[in-house]
Amino acid sequence: MIDVKRIEEVMRIAVEHSSADQLEVLASAKETALTRFSNNHIHQNVSETNMGLSIRAAVGQRLGYASTNRLDADSVKAMVDRATEMAAHRPPDDRFTSLPSPKATRKRDLVALSTVDCSPERRARQVEQLIRIAEAGELTAAGAFSTGYNIIGIANTLGVLATTVVSDASLKTVMMAETSSGYGSAIAVDVDDIDVEKIASEAAEKARISIDPIDIEPGPYTVILEPDAVADMVSFMAFAGFGALSLQEGRSFMKERLGQEIVSPLISIWDDAFDDHTIGLPFDFEGVPKQKVSFIENGVAKGVCYDTYTAAKEGVESTGHGLPAPNIHGPLPLNLIVGAGNSSLNDMVNGSERAILVTRFHYTNLEDPIKTTLTGMTRDGTFLIENGEIRSGIKNLRFTQSILEALSRVEQVSNERQMKDAFLGTIYVPALKIREFNFTGATQF
Amino acid sequence: MKELAFLALDVAKAYGATYADIRIIERQNEAIIIKNGRVEELGASTNYGFGIRVIADGAWGFAGSFLVERGEIERIARLAVETAKASALIKHKNVTLAPAPIITDSFTSPVQKDPFDVALQDKLAVLSRAEEVIRKTPGVSIASASMEMARHKKIFASLEGSYIEQEMTECGAGIHAIAISGNDIQERSYPNSHGGDSATAGYEFIESLMLGEHAAQIAEEAVQLLTAKECPSGEMTIILDGSQLALQVHESCGHPVELDRVLGMEASFAGTSFLTLDKLDKLRYGSPIVNINADATIPGALGTFAYDDEGIPAQRFDIVKDGMFKGYLTSRETAPILEQTSNGCMRADGWGRLPLIRMTNINLLPGNSSLAEMIDGVKDGVYLSTNRSWSIDDKRLNFQFATEIGWEIKNGKLGAVIKNPNYTGLTPEFWNSCDAIAGQDEWRVWGLANCGKGEPMQVAHVAHGAAPARFRNVKVGVGR
Ligand SMILES: [Zn+2]
């Protein structure tokens, strides 16, 4: 079913038909499927086949955009004309210089045929395996198991031409008892790498040990954040401040602080699409090869990522972090990595006199992007640790906490890391132990 | 097109489907964003495809594709049935649907001024004028103005014999000012944050917003906020404006009354609901003046339609009546649990997604007070306007909202502007503390175009009618 030729053909038609000064074509084709379960049975089971074409046309310094999912030759040509017409009708943008010129890209496909060919029946069988584990623990399981692939092609009239194929599989589950719940998840390029039993057992264990949670007074606590919670927090941080546009517009917490220590020296954060622990494209959505970018190195603010437009503004090179045009957020990292430490989750628990262990956060949101004030709830396994041991589950808490301040108070970083879904793309993160994490409210479960 | 729709249903039936429906949808869209004097986005898009939903062996399957052609329709119909049969490998009981009327109809949402006929230059001029006023206000760091228009043409056909065509036109617009000084970032929006306001209407809706006339005020307020004092911390009386109340209704009432959520069908993603089945007709959700309904028939509102994506006619019904919890949003699959038929809340985000229970227009009905009267009755409190940030737990109890701006209220008078306001609470406690709601004169419907739900994620367009309301003993200024 993977048809890279079709994508290349569509791009060729668009580029050849162009009458604009410069033209860019972003084409994609995907097949995705998702099996969703709740109350220990499959209740939704879906798949989608789609293609897409986005055109960016430049007439002088005027840019116009058009997109469609009709990919016959006539529709493609009509969209090229539409984007060009849109461009012609708008005022020029004197900051636009050029679409990117071709650069050598590393050819890489991240695709597993077992994922591409995964049938609804195979997903059902694996979900069944997970549900058996839930039932054995007298738990109710809900979750989603998805598989799919995406072909992405980018071409422009300056000679950029690149395609790549990426597959991904994801399983997540929440297992619920009467008064508690637990969570487990994994993502991988190859569905064969998804360890259903491990995920199910982790979720079941969390639900089991958090039964009959106790009330606890909100306030500042030492917390141990498991990778899912860290992933959530760092995703918001990246969104708020690791892109060049946020820095140029003065709304990034990195402004006027490059070269300074902004968080604990135990923290390093970078983006690397070629790392083995991410699902990365070799080039960005402008066709620019992905560069490794360091945002925070041993606590010190190092830099931000760029696309062609924001790079031109500062006279630097794009780092290959452009998102599909038009894009109001500017460049953003899709393959985040947080550096490992030399601790472990066990060490953190064992070394804590009194702390709260958080499995994951729920519905987090930034109240202030420069102070990085984040609020959200804990979910699916929150525990009180006393004298180096998990004492009991606790009812979920709300936190209102500056991310930068939290990362300044990191005491331990785990050596083991996990790849998680980020806001955009993926993130590879350790567990963190942080002192004085500010819980500001509680709920009834 | 009718022929292709029936082909899908026939193929599904031939492969073993006992129920099947198909939706064929064409969507046309245009978006313009101007930021800091530059046209940031100016684009047109079209999107076309179909989705087939079936029941086979007593379980659900769904498949969709962009290629609206005979061969692909046959392939996708087969795939939907194959998927349903895979679902059936792990089922506890057969899916049964509440009966639905067989309907043949077509509906076009009223449009006075077709947004796709308005010249691009005119649209750009409207946005440029407002954006320029904001940008040129001293102290403003980022100025933006945006508009979006969309048209969906939907065909729904079911094996039971319904065939419905709907054409819906939506328009929305908004303006935004950000002022930054050091580490202080303040923002103001009109008519609402997160993209403004939208409606199921033509370009006349955008004209009615009069963006240009409101630009100076929000720009000045954003700058003023930089030197305003911090929101006080503590328990006090708050008055919320209509737009913030719209989101409060959305998060603390709209989502928890989705019956699929209540039944655990969203448990792994957005969560479940504190409004469990035993609470129906028994729980005092709010004070006796709190009345909330669902009404998919409000002319021009963003959550308005003629038929949902299961072919059920749009309806109006009570959610909260005199403070008591009275009703859920339902579907054909879930309604039988309440011994009811569907109240028509199933909608999908386009052809490639499965219909889910979604809010329509969920409204806090007007009371008999007014903003002036409510302020008059406050000794010490705050008036908060325009959402900035939102968060709520996975049973929809503990919420925390931040707003763009607030004003002190002292001894019945509106006082100084306050910055960084937020408030938090528990849903039933909060609604039970409501002691006044403004009347019809101050009531309006707010469109909300970014409601997320489901896996894969779907975005729904919904709306909420609200007038300002007052709440006692609310925790304000959290995390300071
Ligand atoms: Zn929502």
Provide the residue ranges of all domains of chain A, joining segments of one domain with +. 4-200, 213-445
- Is B233 found in the same domain as B200? no
Q: pLDDT class for A104, splitting at 50, 70, 90? A: confident
Rounded Cα distance, A47 and A119, in Å: 10
pLDDT over 70, % of chain A: 100
Closest-CA distance of chain A to residue B313, Å: 24
- Is B72 found in the same domain as B47? yes
Among candidate residues A187, A143, A194, the one with its CA nearest the CA of residue A168: A187
pLDDT of residue A1: 61
Ligand 1 midpoint to CA A139 (Å): 28
End-to-end CA distance of chain B: 60
Low-confidence ranges of chain B (pLDDT < 50): none
Domain boundary (B174, B195, B226) is at: B226
Three-state DSSP class for residue B428: helix
Amino acid identity, position B7: L
- Is B256 found in the same domain as B156? no
Domain boundary (B174, B202, B226) is at: B226
- Which residue carries 């109006």 as its tokens? B316
Ligand 1 midpoint to CA A9 (Å): 40
- What average pLDDT score do residues A326-338 get? 95
Write out residues 47-86 of B within 8 Å (CB-CB) of A: 47-49, 51, 59-67, 72, 76, 79, 82-86
- Is B252 found in the same domain as B196? no
Rounded Cα distance, B202 and B151, in Å: 10
Asked if B190 contacts B440 with a C-beta cutoff of 8 angstroms, the reply is no
Q: Which of A364, A400, A444 sits opposite B478 (nearest CB)?
A: A400
Rounded Cα distance, B212 and B210, in Å: 6
Q: pLDDT class for A105, splitting at 50, 70, 90? A: confident
Asked if B327 contacts B293 with a C-beta cutoff of 8 angstroms, the reply is no
Question: Using CB atoms within 10 A of its CB, is residue B435 exposed (0-12), middle (13-18) or buried (19+)?
Answer: middle
- Is B237 found in the same domain as B336? yes
Tokens for B422, please give them: 């937020």
CB contact under 8 A, A45 and B84: yes
CB contact under 8 A, B61 and A143: no
- Is B222 found in the same domain as B317? no
CB contact under 8 A, B120 and A86: yes
pLDDT tens across A120-145, in order? 999 999 999 999 999 999 999 999 99
Cis peptide before A227 (omega within 30 of 0): no
pLDDT tens across A176-199, in order? 999 999 999 999 999 999 999 999
DSSP state at residue B265? T
Asked if A377 contacts A361 with a C-beta cutoff of 8 angstroms, the reply is yes
* Exposed e or buried b per residue across B266-296, where buried means at least 16 C-beta atoms within 10 angstroms of its C-beta: bbbbbbbbbbeeebbeebbbbbebbbbbbbb
Amino acid identity, position A200: A
Asked if B253 contacts B360 with a C-beta cutoff of 8 angstroms, the reply is no
Rounded Cα distance, A69 and A75, in Å: 9
- How many independent structural domains does chain B possess? 2
Phi, psi (rounded to 5 degrees) for B331: -135, 175
Q: Which of B89, B92, B268 sits opposite A142 (nearest CB)?
A: B268
- The CA–CA distances, whole Å, from A159 to A57, A99, A199, B93, B95 equal 15, 10, 45, 58, 54
pLDDT tens across A23-60, in order? 999 999 999 999 999 999 999 999 999 999 999 999 99
- Is B296 found in the same domain as B331? yes
Phi, psi (rounded to 5 degrees) for A120: -55, -35
Q: Which residues surround ligand 1, an ion (CB under 5 A)?
A: B 451
Which of B69, B97, B147, B455 to probe the A interface (max A CBs under 10 A)? Answer: B455
Quote the domain boundaries for residue B163.
2-226
For residue A128, the chain B residues in CB contact (below 8 A) are 89-90
- Is B205 found in the same domain as B245? no
- What average pLDDT score do residues A281-299 get? 97
Three-state DSSP class for residue B333: coil
Rounded Cα distance, B251 and B451, in Å: 10
What is the CA B173 to chain-centroid distance, rounded?
A: 15
Closest-CA distance of chain B to residue A143, Å: 5
Return the HEC string of A51-73.
EEEEEEEEECCEEEEEEECCCCH
Among candidate residues A178, A200, A363, A374, the one with its CA nearest the CA of residue B270: A363
Does A95 have pLDDT greater than 90? no
pLDDT of residue B100: 98
pLDDT tens across B243-262, in order? 999 999 999 999 999 999 99
- Is B242 found in the same domain as B199? no
Domain boundary (B226, B255, B280) is at: B226
Rounded Cα distance, B400 and A336, in Å: 29
Rounded Cα distance, A292 and A426, in Å: 15
Closest-CA distance of chain A to residue B168, Å: 19
pLDDT of residue A382: 98
Query: What's the order of all strands across the beta sheet hosting B316-321?
Result: B324-325, B316-321, B292-295, B362-364
- Is B257 found in the same domain as B241? yes
pLDDT tens across A427-444, in order? 999 999 999 999 999 999
- The CA–CA distances, whole Å, from B357 to A208, A374, B91, B315 equal 31, 30, 21, 14
B85: CATH: 3.30.2290.10
CB contact under 8 A, A48 and B267: no
Rounded Cα distance, A99 and A86, in Å: 17
pLDDT over 90, % of chain A: 95
Q: CA-nearest residue of chain A to B65?
A: A49
* Homologous superfamily, domain A4-200: PmbA/TldD superfamily (3.30.2290.10)
Rounded Cα distance, B219 and A291, in Å: 39
CB contact under 8 A, A146 and B120: no
CB contact under 8 A, A42 and B89: yes
Other C-beta atoms closer than 10 Å to the C-beta of B455 total 20
How long a stretch of residues is chain A? Answer: 445
Ligand 1 midpoint to CA A32 (Å): 24
- Is B233 found in the same domain as B222? no
- Is B219 found in the same domain as B238? no
Phi, psi (rounded to 5 degrees) for A123: -60, -40
Rounded Cα distance, B27 and A68, in Å: 10
